A and B are shown apart, each in its own frame.
Chain A
Amino acid sequence: MLIMRHELLLVTITVILLIVEIFLPNDRKRKIILPAILLMAAVTVIGFFPGKPGTLFGGMYQSTQLTLLLKNILNIGALIIFIQSVDWLKQDQNKEKISEFYLLILSTLIGMNYMISSGNFMMFYLGLELSTIPIAALAAYERFKEKSAEAGVKLIFVSAFSSGILLYGLSMIYGTTGTMYFTEVAAQITGTPLQILAFIFFFSGMAFKISLVPFHLWTADVYEGAPVNVASYLSVISKGAAVFIFTIILYTVFAKIAVLWSEVLYIIIILTITVGNLFAMRQQNLKRFLAFSSIAQAGFILLGIIGQSQTGMATVVYFVLVYIFSNLGAFGVVGIIANRTGKETISDYDGLYRTNPKLSLVMMLALFSLAGIPPLAGFFGKFFLFTAGAKQGYYILVLIALLNTIISLYYYLLVIKAMFLNNSDRPIAFFKSDGYTRLGLLLCVAGIVAVGFAGSLYEWIYQLSFGLY
């Protein structure tokens, strides 16, 4: 059973937390925060011990060195979110349901782990559902706020709808091949019209989860309504997991019709990056702003997928890792400021550097990393994505993406301009953030600064990606 180590560990700590929750009296629920973080940290660390690849349940579940790494990456992200959310969970209105936050997050994480390890479309679908539905509950966490409730409902409708489309596609795949196992399906994909239709449905379903244009319409509303920490979870972990399995399925199951899906991706990439960027420029609310920026970032990730090579796969994983640190850094700052002052528009940030220099610097680093400015990690991620794309001869596509990075730089600079350049009569007053927030942001900054210089990290991912394409 060691093969399923990640999942079992997560289930174990979920159960432990559930039992502790039962015995904690109502006025001492906050006591669960520290154990939850420590347990998650332990799981993350244990996850890095050398694991054993193998398959279980007759090939339904398969574990490789690569899936172990992907799960570790998700664990790191979840751990940072656990740490960052403490300040928010300690607020009075949340104190009775602190443990629910942890339990729901953990169950989605379990779902994602199963999804990444799936060797069968049934297993994949189960994992996907387990990883989506609890998030809807999380989005509606602050149910006394109208927007939060709206976000929850929107998310559940959209996921139900996209799951329906996805399932329809899967049923067609079953209909044409007579099996749900990845390897057997892969052998029988020949590109018949029905299979292509099935692929399109599958693709659309996944596009909803990764929020690619034109399936992105729910994203900004949900991010805006949901609590900041849930939005950050949605934008990095949830999206990251979906990207991972999406890449794996494209590379393994649909490898034979790569010509077809790279054409689809080509158009979707241009749409996603451009629309994401153009809408991000217009946003005033920082959560909506980050929502559109994360749509555009997803477009960049696809550029690695279209690279169709070991380099492509490795770069996608690497970029998601970098993106987790950068985006969580930005969301962390937005979150703590929203908690303390309730302000979350760009113009509220005017003159922030004069009052809260450290937070502004973290925000600047995170945004520059998202924009791909050296020597921060985002630069390396983007550069490798572009190289992977150009390697397949997609020079024009890479050029369009590059020009889009200029647009993205413009709107990231707008936030930096507000913080550093603008002066305000009533800037956000100085406040001291708590230890947890600082630790969370410190982890992000360390990731943003260090990941790019550690060339061996990329090599390691590259080695693990061997044989996938």
Chain B
Amino acid sequence: MSILTVFILIPLLTILGILFCKNDMQVKWVSVFGMGLQLLSAITLILLFLAERRAGNVEEVLFVQDNLWYETFNIHFYIGVDGVSVAMIGLTALVVFAGIFASWDIKDLSREFFMFLILLASGVFGFFISLDLFTMFLFYELAVIPMYLLIGIWGSGPRHYSAMKLTLMLMGGSALIMLGLIGIYLNSAPHGGPLTWDLIKISKETLPEDMQRFLFPFLFLGFGVLGALFPFHTWSPDGHASAPTAVSMLHAGVLMKLGGYGCYRVAVFLLPQAAHQLGWIFLILATIGVIYGALGAIWQKDLKYINAYSSVSHCALVLFAILMFNQTALNGAILQMISHGIMTALFFALIGMIYGRTHTRYINEMGGLMKVMPFLSVAYVIAGLASLGLPGFSGFVAEMTIFVGAFQNADTFHRVATIIAASSIVVTAVYILRVIGILLLGKIRNSDYELLTDAKWYDKISVVALILGITLIGLAPLWLSDMINGGLGPIVQKLLAATPIIH
């Protein structure tokens, strides 16, 4: 049994444990225990992985386990990881762990809340470790569907509407993915032999080019919906604004990365020829998304909407980088996924904590919070600075790498796109500093707020864990970017082979 099986077993056992809990307190501690264990396993996995690589193991994927599931369709339970998926697993474990503490205050139906939250997490973990397209898709949908209940039951504002919109749009995306995956499966053996869902095996083949052109839009668009590709991002602001804190964290932090990861791992990796031919369409959309999301954030007054639009912008940057098709940009894309994942989770956690105290999310109604809740405010400033790409935090490393990579494409089209996308950094600075100015600095506008308390112990655990994450990556990015680079080898080679003429 591979160590990776643990990542599915622990969440399932935790859910089982929650079922037998007698009261809320037990439910919370069982969840903390389970997800703490998960975080430890993730750290162990990273160390084991690095040790294997250092020992000279150059296999494409490590810790493989392969069980036959459906013989007729050649479906396997096939799991394994490379540098990229290890990094994503680390991110997920961290955000879920912080999310449990951020939802300490849930009172209504808390047992169900934690069960659905962990079910969602197990879907995400399963997605990142799967190497079989069928099981990958299974876990993908498993991660999407608990969202409906999580937002619908425990959310705020127009939660019924948002939950329905989010679920239907994401499932619409997954319908497109399903068609794409079935298409890949049916063409997975162009030179004869049994059809397969095996991602590694398919990546060694070149699928017929007309089929690639047919399937690529379905897959990229399908995953792109979850990655908030413009103009299919509209579920994101509504959904994030209505979701309870931990769900916003998990959704923006991890689940949206499933989209980017899917575009990278399935659409571009398996259909490189089509990616080269059709990538420009999506590059235009992604570039619009980067700048549109940033501009959208300026106009918003609701903290969660601001952060949701900023997520749209940052996630579009991931897709933008993937479509640049070179090693540096791809590395940046993965770094950006991880950096944005932690950062936005931190933002949403803080917003949830502030909202829990002030009971409003409108920045105009607040002010001078620095005086009453210094811990939360400082954390907010840190998150903000990381978000606008200040050196020393993870955001800088990621965005820098992306734009350096993007600039390697010397033609006018890519240059223009890069310049437009890069200008979003300025816009980001505007909305981040504006929020910090209005929300945290200045005088306290509402005298009721003077009585508010600062973060509780469980809030602090959540916040500190995430801040450690962004500073660790910001100050010592090399181990992470090396690990990711190792995983990018096969895909870059495939992309180079797909373009006879290198621009």
Chain B CB count within 10 A is highest, among A390, A399, A406, for A406
Tally of chain B residues near chain A (CB < 8 A): 35
Assess A399 versus B72: contact at CB under 8 Å? Given A409-B168, A417-B164, A420-B149: no
Q: Do B182 and A413 have beta carbons less than 8 Å apart?
A: no
A14 at the B interface (CB under 8 A):
no
Residues in chain A near residue B214, CB distance under 8 A = 395
B183 at the A interface (CB under 8 A):
yes
* Contact indicator per residue, chain B 465-490, by CB within 8 Å of chain A (1) or not (0): 00000000000000000000000000
* Contact indicator per residue, chain B 174-213, by CB within 8 Å of chain A (1) or not (0): 0110110011011000000000000000000000000000
* Contact indicator per residue, chain B 119-162, by CB within 8 Å of chain A (1) or not (0): 00000000000000010011101100100110011000001100
B280 at the A interface (CB under 8 A):
no
Assess A459 versus B179: contact at CB under 8 Å? Given A406-B172, A417-B164: no
A88 at the B interface (CB under 8 A):
no
Assess A410 versus B152: contact at CB under 8 Å? Given A390-B179, A395-B179, A459-B70: no
Q: Do B72 and A458 have beta carbons less than 8 Å apart?
A: yes
Q: Do B175 and A403 have beta carbons less than 8 Å apart?
A: yes
Interface residues of A in 388-425 (CB under 8 A from B): 390-391, 395, 398-399, 402-403, 405-406, 409-410, 413, 416-417, 420-421
Q: How far is the CA of A420 from the CA of B113 in the complex (A)?
A: 12
Q: Do B182 and A386 have beta carbons less than 8 Å apart?
A: yes
Q: Do B149 and A390 have beta carbons less than 8 Å apart?
A: no
Assess A420 versus B153: contact at CB under 8 Å? Given A314-B72, A386-B182, A387-B73: yes
Residues in chain B near residue A403, CB distance under 8 A = 172, 175
- Which of these, A391, A416, A417, A421, contacts B186 with CB under 8 Å? A391
- Which of these, A390, A391, A406, contacts B171 with CB under 8 Å? A406
Assess A409 versus B72: contact at CB under 8 Å? Given A386-B178, A398-B182: no
Query: Nearest chain-B residue to A409 (Cβ)?
Result: B171
- Which of these, A311, A405, A410, contacts B175 with CB under 8 Å? A405
- Which of these, A368, A399, A458, contacts B70 with CB under 8 Å? A458
Query: Nearest chain-A residue to B155 (Cβ)?
Result: A421
* Contact indicator per residue, chain A 152-166, by CB within 8 Å of chain B (1) or not (0): 000000000000000
Q: How far is the CA of A390 from the CA of B214 in the complex (A)?
A: 13
Residues in chain B near residue A413, CB distance under 8 A = 148, 164, 167
- Which of these, A368, A374, A391, contacts B138 with CB under 8 Å? A374
Residues in chain B near residue A384, CB distance under 8 A = 73
Q: How far is the CA of A175 from the CA of B160 in the complex (A)?
A: 60
Report the minimum CB–CB distance from A199 to chain B (whole Å): 29
Q: How far is the CA of A462 from the CA of B176 in the complex (A)?
A: 27
Residues in chain B near residue A458, CB distance under 8 A = 70, 72
Q: Do B141 and A373 have beta carbons less than 8 Å apart?
A: yes
A383 at the B interface (CB under 8 A):
yes
Report the minimum CB–CB distance from B188 to chain A (whole Å): 12
Assess A421 versus B142: contact at CB under 8 Å? Given A390-B179, A399-B179: no
Q: Do B160 and A383 have beta carbons less than 8 Å apart?
A: no
B69 at the A interface (CB under 8 A):
yes
Report the minimum CB–CB distance from B155 to chain A (whole Å): 9
- Which of these, B72, B149, B182, contacts A459 with CB under 8 Å? B72
Report the minimum CB–CB distance from A68 to chain B (whole Å): 20
Q: How far is the CA of A190 from the CA of B10 in the complex (A)?
A: 61
Q: How far is the CA of A383 from the CA of B214 in the complex (A)?
A: 20
Q: Do B168 and A383 have beta carbons less than 8 Å apart?
A: no
A467 at the B interface (CB under 8 A):
no
Q: Do A390 and B138 have beta carbons less than 8 Å apart?
A: no
Residues in chain B near residue A462, CB distance under 8 A = 72
* Contact indicator per residue, chain A 374-390, by CB within 8 Å of chain B (1) or not (0): 11000100011011001
Q: Do B178 and A374 have beta carbons less than 8 Å apart?
A: no
Q: Do B148 and A379 have beta carbons less than 8 Å apart?
A: no
Q: How far is the CA of A235 from the CA of B399 in the complex (A)?
A: 57
B448 at the A interface (CB under 8 A):
no
Query: Nearest chain-B residue to A368 (Cβ)?
Result: B145
B285 at the A interface (CB under 8 A):
no
Report the minimum CB–CB distance from B128 to chain A (whole Å): 16
B71 at the A interface (CB under 8 A):
yes
A58 at the B interface (CB under 8 A):
no
A455 at the B interface (CB under 8 A):
yes
Q: Do B134 and A383 have beta carbons less than 8 Å apart?
A: yes
B75 at the A interface (CB under 8 A):
yes
What is the interface of chain B mostly: helix, strand, loop, or mixed?
A: helix
Q: Do A373 and B153 have beta carbons less than 8 Å apart?
A: no
Q: Do B152 and A387 have beta carbons less than 8 Å apart?
A: no
Assess A390 versus B183: contact at CB under 8 Å? Given A375-B142, A405-B175: yes
Q: How far is the CA of A379 from the CA of B168 in the complex (A)?
A: 16
Residues in chain B near residue A390, CB distance under 8 A = 179, 182-183, 186
Q: Do A402 and B178 have beta carbons less than 8 Å apart?
A: yes
Residues in chain A near residue B178, CB distance under 8 A = 383, 386, 402
Q: Do A421 and B183 have beta carbons less than 8 Å apart?
A: no
Q: Do A455 and B185 have beta carbons less than 8 Å apart?
A: no
Report the minimum CB–CB distance from A292 to chain B (whole Å): 19
Residues in chain A near residue B175, CB distance under 8 A = 399, 402-403, 405-406
Report the minimum CB–CB distance from B190 to chain A (whole Å): 15
Query: Nearest chain-A residue to B140 (Cβ)?
Result: A374
Q: Do B72 and A421 have beta carbons less than 8 Å apart?
A: no
Q: Do B141 and A374 have beta carbons less than 8 Å apart?
A: yes
Q: How far is the CA of A314 from the CA of B70 in the complex (A)?
A: 13
Report the minimum CB–CB distance from A282 to chain B (whole Å): 16
Q: How far is the CA of A460 from the CA of B12 in the complex (A)?
A: 29
Residues in chain A near residue B142, CB distance under 8 A = 374-375
Interface residues of B in 226-273 (CB under 8 A from A): none
- Which of these, A383, A402, A405, A416, contacts B148 with CB under 8 Å? A416
* Contact indicator per residue, chain A 441-469, by CB within 8 Å of chain B (1) or not (0): 00000000000000100110010000000
Residues in chain A near residue B183, CB distance under 8 A = 390, 395
Assess A379 versus B141: contact at CB under 8 Å? Given A398-B179, A420-B153: yes
Q: How far is the CA of A386 from the CA of B181 in the complex (A)?
A: 11
Residues in chain A near residue B148, CB distance under 8 A = 413, 416
Residues in chain B near residue A314, CB distance under 8 A = 72
Report the minimum CB–CB distance from A406 to chain B (whole Å): 5
* Contact indicator per residue, chain A 300-334, by CB within 8 Å of chain B (1) or not (0): 00000000000100100000000000000000000
Residues in chain A near residue B172, CB distance under 8 A = 403, 406
Interface residues of B in 420-462 (CB under 8 A from A): none
Q: Do B182 and A406 have beta carbons less than 8 Å apart?
A: no
Residues in chain B near residue A421, CB distance under 8 A = 149, 152-153, 159-160, 163
Q: How far is the CA of A192 from the CA of B149 in the complex (A)?
A: 56
Residues in chain A near residue B182, CB distance under 8 A = 386-387, 390, 398
Query: Nearest chain-A residue to B148 (Cβ)?
Result: A413
- Which of these, A368, A375, A409, A459, contacts B71 with CB under 8 Å? A459
Residues in chain B near residue A368, CB distance under 8 A = 145
Chain B CB count within 10 A is highest, among A368, A379, A387, for A387
Residues in chain A near residue B134, CB distance under 8 A = 383
Besides A374-B139, A406-B168, 18 other CB < 8 A contacts? A373-B145, A384-B73, A387-B73, A387-B185, A390-B183, A390-B186, A398-B179, A398-B182, A402-B179, A406-B175, A413-B148, A413-B164, A416-B149, A421-B153, A455-B69, A455-B71, A455-B75, A458-B72
Name 24 A/B residue pairs within 8 A (Cβ), A-sorted: A311-B72, A368-B145, A373-B141, A374-B137, A374-B139, A374-B141, A374-B142, A387-B73, A387-B185, A390-B179, A398-B179, A402-B175, A402-B176, A403-B172, A405-B175, A409-B171, A413-B164, A413-B167, A420-B149, A421-B152, A421-B153, A421-B159, A421-B163, A459-B72
Q: Which residues of A contact B (CB under 8 A)?
A: 311, 314, 368, 373-375, 379, 383-384, 386-387, 390-391, 395, 398-399, 402-403, 405-406, 409-410, 413, 416-417, 420-421, 455, 458-459, 462
8 shortest interchain CB distances as A-B pairs: A402-B175, A421-B152, A374-B138, A455-B70, A455-B69, A390-B182, A462-B72, A374-B141
Q: Which residues of B contact A (CB under 8 A)?
A: 68-73, 75, 134, 137-139, 141-142, 145, 148-149, 152-153, 159-160, 163-164, 167-168, 171-172, 175-176, 178-179, 182-183, 185-186, 214
